[in-house]
Structure 1
Amino acid sequence: MKVRTLADKVRICAANNADLYQAVFRAHGLREHRNLFLWWSDTPAPPYYSNMTTLDPDAIELQLEAVKHLSSLLRGPFAVKDGFCRLDLADMGFKVLFDASWIWTDPDSAIGRTGGGWPAGWRRICDPDALHAWEDAWASDNPTDRRVFPPAILDNPNVALLGRATTAGFDAGCIVNRSSEAMGLSNVFAKGDDAEPVYQDAANAALAYANGLPLVGYERGAALRAARTAGFESVGNLRIWLQLGEETT
C-alpha cells in the first residue's frame, strides 16, 4: 500500500470533491473551469454548491485574485470552499459559513471493521423516476426549491447515487464518485434512523465501487462522529466562506 502523508491525503480529498463538483455542474449544463490550483464557475451554483474550491494550499495569491474576479461577476450570494483553511476572505465581504474535516479510510481498514458486503436494501439509482424519489428523501434534510441533481448526472460513469429502497421511496442514501486516487463518499442521509449504522452501510456500499481505492469525503458534527465510528479518520480541515452579495445586503 502506498504511504501517503496527511498533506497528500488532503490534496486527494480536495481533488476528488472537485471532481464531484465538475460532474454536478456539467449535469446542469453550467460553465466550470479547473487548473492545478483551483476549480471555479462563474455561473450561479446549484443549491449547496460553492462557486470555487481550492486544490493547492500554497497558491493563496492566485486564489484570492480568483475570488475577487468571481465577486465582480456574480451578483447574488456565492460560496468559496477553502480546502486547506488558508484564505482570509473577511475583508472581501465574506463570513465563515462552517468548518469541516476531510475524512479518509483505507479499504482494508473499513472492511476489517465491518466484514464488507453490500448492505441490505440498497441499490443504485438508474432512472429519472428513482432519482426524483431519491432526491425527495435527501431533501428532507437539505431543503431547497430547486432540483440539485438533474437526470444527466446518471449518465456519468464516475458517479453513482445509492439508496436504501422502501415501499414509499428511499429512507437512506449517499453519492459516490470515482477519481484516479480515491472514491468519494458524500451526501449521506437517513430518515428516521440512527446515523451511525446508516453511515456504515453507505461506506460498505461505496466499497463495492472503490476497487481498492481509499474512501474520502468531508463531514462535521454528528455526521463526522458517525464517519469516525465507521472507520474514517480526520486528515485535515476545510472552511466554507459565504459572500451574501449586493442583492441580499
Structure 2
Amino acid sequence: MHQSFPSNSPHDTPRSDAERARICAANNADLYQAVFRAHALPDRRTGAFWSSDGIAPPYYSSMTTLDPDATEEQLAEIDRLTESLGRRPGLKDGFSRLDLTDKGFQLLFSASWIWAEPPSRPTPASAAWIRISDAAALHRWEQSWKESGSPTDATVFPPALLSDPDLHVYGRVAGDGFDGGCIVNRSPDVVGISNVFSQMGTLPAFQDAVSLAATAFATGLPLVGYDSGDALEEMTKLGFRSVGELRIWLPEERE
C-alpha cells in the first residue's frame, strides 16, 4: 500500500522548486554535521557551504554547497580545503553549478533532490522495524548496511550519533541482525530520509522508510532526500518528485 500524500500543504504552497532544493541541501548538511560531530571532527557552516577539515568518513564528502549563487565563495573554500587537507576534497555540489572537470576533479554521479508532502494517512511500517538505541545494535545495523552495498572496514556511524535528538536510525530485525534499515533526520522545515538498504525487496524497504520518516518526530513536515537510478524510481512511485539536481565530485584518480 502506498502512502496517501495531499496535493497541497500549508508548509509547501508558497515554495518554488528552487527553494525546496535549498531546503533539501540544508537538511542533508544537517545530516553531515551530525555524522562528523559524532566522529568528533571539526566542521564549518556558512550560508554558502558546509565543510570539514577532518578526514571524511567513507561515503561522505568534505564539503556540500548550500547556495546556488555563491559559486565564488564555494570555489575559494575548495582551494582552502585543498591546502588544509593536502589534497582536493570530495564534495557535493548541491545545485550542479560547479564545473570542476578542468580543476583536478572527476564526476562520480549526478542525482536528484526529492520532495513529498507529509502523508495525510501514513501507512504503518511493519512491526519488524525498530529504532536503534544502543551501540551493539548500531554495530550490527552498520554491518548489514555494509553487506548491502556499502563495503568499508571503517566505522561510519559511531555510537555518539544515537544521542542526537534530531536523528533516528531504524532497522528491520532479522534473526540476530537486520535485513533492512534507514536513517531519518529532522531539520526545521523537513525530515530527511537516507541510507535506505534492504537485503530483500527494495520497494517494501522504501515504503517503510517513508512511513518511519513521516512518524518519527510527529512533525507533519515534508519528506526529502536525494536519489538516482532505481532508488529514484522507487521513491517516485511513493509520491516523491525531483525538485533539483546535484553532483558528487571526487579528486581525479591520478592524485
* Interval of TM-score (by shorter of Structure 1 and Structure 2): over 0.9
Q: Report the Cα offset of residue 91 of structure 1.
A: 2.1
> How big is the shift at 1:151?
0.4
**Distance 1:76-1:132 versus aligned 2 partners, 3 A rule:** farther
Aligned to 2:5: none
Aligned residue runs from structure 1 range 9-158, under 5 A? 9-76=20-87, 78-108=89-119, 111=121, 115-140=122-147, 141-158=149-166
Paired residues for 1:216-231 under 5 Å: 216-231=224-239
What residue ranges of structure 2 are gaps of 5+ in the alignment?
1-9
Aligned to 1:214: 222
Contact residue 118 and residue 208 of structure 1 kept, 8 A:
no
For residue 194 of structure 1, the aligned residue among 201, 204, 211 is 201
Runs (4+) off by over 4 Å? none
**Residues 129-168 of structure 1: CA distance to partner in whole angstroms, max 9, x if unpaired?**
0000000000111001101000000010001000101113
Contact 1:44 1:78 in 2 (8 A): no
Q: Determine the structure 1 residue equivalent to 2:178.
A: 170
> Matched residues in 2 for 1:153 and 1:69: separation?
28
| 1:179 aligns to 2:187 (yes or no) | yes
Deviations 1:50-100 (A, max 9, x none): 000000000011101111111112135631100000001122200101000
Aligned-pair identity (%):
52
Task: Using structure 2 for the length normalisation, give the TM-score.
Answer: 0.91
Q: Distance in 2 between matches of 1:133 and 1:202?
A: 18
Q: Residue in 2 aligned with 1:243?
A: 251
Secondary structure of 1:218 counterpart: strand
CA contact (8 A) 1:78 1:244 kept: no
Structure 1 unaligned spans of 5+: none
Q: Which moved more, 1:6-15 or 1:202-211?
A: 202-211
Which has the higher mean CA deviation after the structures are superposed, 10-19 or 87-96? 87-96
Report if aligned partners of 2:119, 2:214 keep a CA contact under 8 Å in 1. no
Letter of the 1:63 counterpart: Q
Aligned amino acid, residue 206 of structure 2: Y
**C-alpha distance in structure 1 between counterparts of 2:142 and 2:16, whole Å:** 36
CA drift of 1:244 comes to 4.1
Judge which range, 222-231 or 55-64, deviates more: 222-231
Higher mean C-alpha deviation, range 52-61 or range 64-73: 64-73
* Contact kept? 1:12, 1:181, Cα under 8 Å: yes
User: What is the root-mean-square deviation in Å for CA atoms of aligned residues?
Assistant: 1.4
Looking at structure 1, the residues matched to 210 and 44 of structure 2 have their Cα atoms a distance apart, in angstroms, of 30
Give the whole-Å Cα distance in 2 for the aligned partners of 1:143 and 1:129: 19
SS in 2 for 1:162: strand
Moved more, 197-206 or 26-35: 197-206
TM-score (norm 1): 0.94
Task: Find the aligned partners of 1:65 and 1:91 in 2 and give their Cα distance.
Answer: 16
